[in-house]
Amino acid sequence: MALTREGCAIVTGAARGIGAATAAALAADGWPVAVNYRSDAEGAEQLAEAIDGNGGRAVAIGADVTDAEQVEELFARAESQLGPVLVLVNNAGMRADGLAPQLKADEWDAVLSTNLSAAFTTTRRALRPMLRARFGRIVNVASVVGTRANAGQANYAASKAGLIGMTKTVAVEVARRGITVNAVAPGLVETKLTEGISNGLAGEIPARRTGTPEEVAACVRFLASEDAAYVTGSVLTVDGGLSA
């Protein structure tokens, strides 16, 4: 799965959790990586330094991916420092849980903006260099909640279901250009984002444990590789059998 292309990868929301593990995995395959963050500059810088220390190449770039102008700046900086963006991992995400009657409009809007609209903005921008190169890998971090009900997460479920639909549609649009677009759908993975929702759920998982960010990153790493050239429009579930 080693790198055979000249270009770089951007991982959004990469300061910790699945994003950080994914950035490290892509760097191990030889991709220079732009470690995007919104607020955790220290975590992103530490990750970039760790990648550099392990023989890779990385740069931490702050940008709020819900802001189109900041997305453009993110890509411009990545391209100027690391080369054309040929891999994009849309990992940035958030939760604002509550039963539907109690969900506020701004909680709905914030989750859809971060989890879905931002992924569209970055995908649209990433397709420019990918179309020119006739090669690209886009991997969207969705969730099993996008296809499986989880009370109290109507906004989160809608954003992830939308992300899966967008993945499949864009994949069909660009398949003839050597660009693949796929999603991974993690189940219960131990990250800061899942704090407070694991009580009792682990017992429902056939594997009888939670997943790790590295296990999700391994799947992203495959989908971003040359070996996955014939895999597109797919959703790879990583949930220990929860949705089986």
pLDDT in tens, 76-89: 999 999 999 999 99
Residue 85 · residue 75 · CB < 8 Å: yes
Reply yes or no on domain 8-185+214-238 having CATH 3.40.50.720: yes
Average pLDDT over every residue of 51-76 = 98
The pLDDT score that the predictor gives to residue 23 is 98
Q: Categorize the per-residue pLDDT at 193 as very low, low, confident or very high, splitting at 50, 70 and 90.
A: low
- Measured in whole angstroms, the distance separating CA 116 from the mean position of its chain's CA atoms is 11
pLDDT tens-digit series, residues 233-242: 999 999 999 9
As a whole-number percent, the residues of the chain with pLDDT over 70 amount to 94
Average pLDDT over every residue of 9-38 = 98
**Residue for token pair 């790198």:** 3
pTM for this model (two decimals): 0.94
Query: Residues 156, 160, 185, 188: which is the catalytic one?
Result: 156
- 96 vs 200, higher pLDDT: 96
Ordered by start, the domain boundaries in the chain are 8-185+214-238
Average pLDDT over every residue of 66-77 = 98
Q: Categorize the per-residue pLDDT at 244 as very low, low, confident or very high, splitting at 50, 70 and 90.
A: confident
Instruction: Please name every residue paired with 35 in a beta bridge, in sequence order, or none if there are none.
Output: 11, 60
Average pLDDT over every residue of 208-227 = 96
**In whole angstroms, how far apart are CA 29 and each of 9, 50, 57, 92, 215?**
11, 15, 11, 22, 16
- 156: annotated active-site residue: yes
